Structure 1
Amino acid sequence: MREALDHWDFVIAAYAIGVGALGLLIAWSWQAMRRAERRRDETKRQRTQR
Structure 2
Amino acid sequence: MPDVAIGKAYRSATFLRVEWMWLSLPVTVWVLSLIVWLGTIWKSGKVGAPL
TM-score relative to the length of structure 2:
0.57
Ranked by relative contact order (alpha carbons within 8 Å, sequence separation 6 or more), the top structure is 2
Partner in structure 2 of residue 20 of structure 1: 22
Give the C-alpha shift of residue 19 in structure 1.
1.2
Aligned pairs for 1:1-50 within 5 A? 4-6=1-3, 17-46=19-48
Percent of paired sites with the same residue: 8
TM-score relative to the length of structure 1:
0.58
The answer for unaligned runs of 5 or more in structure 2 is 4-16
* Runs of 4 or more consecutive aligned structure 1 residues displaced over 3 Å after TM superposition: none
The answer for unaligned runs of 5 or more in structure 1 is 7-13
Number of aligned positions between the proteins:
37
Q: Deviations over 1:1-50 (max 9, x none)?
A: xxx325xxxxxxx68x3112011110000000000000000100018xxx
